[in-house]
Amino acid sequence: MILITHTTNLYNRWGILLAVVLFGWGCTKNDINNTGIFISDPDLTGNNIRNMSVDQNGGSYRLTASASILAEADIPLSFEVDTALVDAYNQKWGTAYKPLPPRFYSLSSTTSVIRKGSSISDSVNILVKPLDNSVSDGDLFMIPVTVNPRAGNISAIAASRVAYVIINRVLINPALDVSRISNLAFDIPDPIKNLTAFTAEFRVKVTNSFYNNMTLFSAYPSEIYSRFGDVVIKPNQLQIKYAGIQPASLTEFTSNRWYHIAYVLDGAAGTFKIYVDGRLDATTPTPGNVSFNLESMFFGGSGRHPMHVQELRFWTKARTQAEIAGSFCAVNPAAPGLYGYWKFNDGQGNTVADATTKGHTGRFTGTNAWVQGIRCPE
């Protein structure tokens, strides 16, 4: 059995976001019994994502193949990019990635070897150039890399021979300091009726101690109300009130750290799910025949809570885990089902633009409410 491991080069300014996801379910007992070559990562299973940051001057992603036993003879390998696999990935995970144009990347080599007496191959680097203005915020690109033996009786395991390197544009933008504002309300020129599925998501950092009833996103009159802290949970847990119930996160959040939070109601599936940084945190059943009429939306309430916020979005559909995990820092403002999108990159004034151009402008009271130079990811 041979698996691919990796290390990454990190840079500290805006650039691109890279993630490797496994297409398949990773190493199993049968894989071990049936010796073969496959791409995996010891920390990833299924459609989990791992992110890295790359500087505006470019960056590299280092891959190696590892064997579960010492090689008895040299095992020559080939690494290749196969952009035809992007469509298959999208169909499997419900995503909308595009192949990264070849002008932006190259492989340091298309061959490698696990040498006799060793269990790890020579490395192959994916070299990525800075993305230019032809790439818009929210565009999602992918580089599928395959590994195969070039000689010998060993073969590749078909379901696990591909690494999907996912590339997202990462920006440095302002954020809103909620401690300096009150009454952030969004214009709703197009009220929502009989909604049976939704996704709310945002980036948030609490900058001081947590306490009960730290209001986050909310919508009415069919209440959707999220907050940190309540009498039935700890101050640093997330709670969402809707339809008379109050599911909460298992995660206990930490101050002075950015999190991506998403919660998803899927009426057809009868589930309500909470995601923290793209990982499923909690799942609860929904009440039967639940639906929402929404005529107003808010963030932060009137409490001037100590937190910063970016990338608030409300969708009239249930987003998948793969969609959520692949878009922490930006989405396409024209994406289907995106009702309101507030990037909080305005940087000045008392309004927050709706990137969808549907007119859901946010308005608040307060001064000196913006913080600059917020990097996504940190």
> Mind giving me the DSSP string for 32-55?
HHS-EE----TT--TT-EEEEEEE
My answer on whether 65 and 186 are in the same domain is no
Give residue 46's pLDDT: 47
My answer on whether 134 and 188 are in the same domain is no
> Rounded to whole angstroms, how far apart are CA atoms 76 and 57?
32
pLDDT in tens, 71-88: 889 989 999 999 999 999
Give residue 231's pLDDT: 96
Give residue 155's pLDDT: 76
pLDDT in tens, 134-162: 888 788 888 999 888 887 777 776 777 88
My answer on whether 185 and 317 are in the same domain is yes
pLDDT in tens, 302-359: 879 999 999 999 999 999 998 998 889 999 999 999 999 999 999 999 999 999 999 9
Arithmetic mean of pLDDT, 156-170: 77
> Rounded to whole angstroms, how far apart are CA atoms 349 and 353?
11
Q: What's the whole-model pTM score?
A: 0.80
Assign residue 44 the CATH number of its domain: 2.60.40.1740
My answer on whether 26 and 49 are in the same domain is yes
Q: What percent of the chain has pLDDT over 90?
A: 59
Q: What percent of the chain has pLDDT over 70?
A: 84
Q: How many CB atoms lie within 10 A of CB 32?
A: 12
Give residue 65's pLDDT: 75
Q: Which of 31 and 172 is assigned the larger pLDDT? A: 172
> Rounded to whole angstroms, how far apart are CA atoms 354 and 334?
11
Give residue 308's pLDDT: 98
Indicate whether 50 pLDDT > 70: no
> Rounded to whole angstroms, how far apart are CA atoms 149 and 135?
35
Beta bridge partners of 220: 296
Give residue 11's pLDDT: 33
Q: Which of 44 and 213 is assigned the larger pLDDT? A: 213
Phi/psi of residue 150, nearest 5 degrees: -105, -5
Cα Rg for the chain, rounded, in angstroms?
23
Beta bridge partners of 374: 173
143, 169, 195: which is the final residue of a domain?
169
Give residue 378's pLDDT: 76
Q: How many CB atoms lie within 10 A of CB 193?
A: 11
149, 169, 189: which is the final residue of a domain?
169
Q: Could you tell me how far CA 25 lies from the centroid of its own chain?
A: 19
Sign of torsion over alpha carbons 182, 188, 194, 198 = negative
pLDDT in tens, 254-305: 999 999 999 999 999 999 999 999 999 999 999 989 999 999 999 998 879 9
Arithmetic mean of pLDDT, 198-218: 98
pLDDT in tens, 233-255: 999 999 999 999 999 999 999 99
Give residue 312's pLDDT: 98
My answer on whether 105 and 198 are in the same domain is no
- Structural domain for 107, as ranges: 2-169
Tokens encoding 328:
């922490």
My answer on whether 194 and 342 are in the same domain is yes
Q: Could you tell me how far CA 257 lies from the centroid of its own chain?
A: 16
My answer on whether 225 and 339 are in the same domain is yes
Pairing of strands 36-37, 233-242: unpaired
Phi/psi of residue 102, nearest 5 degrees: -60, -20
B/e letters for 200-231, b = 16+ CB within 10 Å, e = fewer, are: bbbbbbbeeebeeebbbbbbeebebbbbbbbe
| Confidence class for position 10, pLDDT limits 50, 70, 90 | very low
Give residue 29's pLDDT: 37
> Rounded to whole angstroms, how far apart are CA atoms 161 and 145?
8
> Rounded to whole angstroms, how far apart are CA atoms 352 and 185?
10
Average pLDDT, the chain: 85
154, 169, 184: which is the final residue of a domain?
169
Count of domains for the chain? 2
Give residue 71's pLDDT: 80
What does 295-308 look like in DSSP terms, one character per residue?
Answer: EEEEESTTS--SEE
Please report, for the chain, how many H helices and E strands are present, in that order. 3, 29
My answer on whether 135 and 284 are in the same domain is no
Assign residue 319 the CATH number of its domain: 2.60.120.200
My answer on whether 134 and 210 are in the same domain is no
Q: Which of 12 and 175 is assigned the larger pLDDT? A: 175
Burial label, 268 (beta-carbon count in 10 A; 0-12, 13-18, 19+): exposed
My answer on whether 183 and 145 are in the same domain is no
Indicate whether 95 pLDDT > 90: no
Give residue 287's pLDDT: 94
Give residue 7's pLDDT: 45
Burial label, 160 (beta-carbon count in 10 A; 0-12, 13-18, 19+): buried
My answer on whether 291 and 227 are in the same domain is yes
My answer on whether 255 and 324 are in the same domain is yes
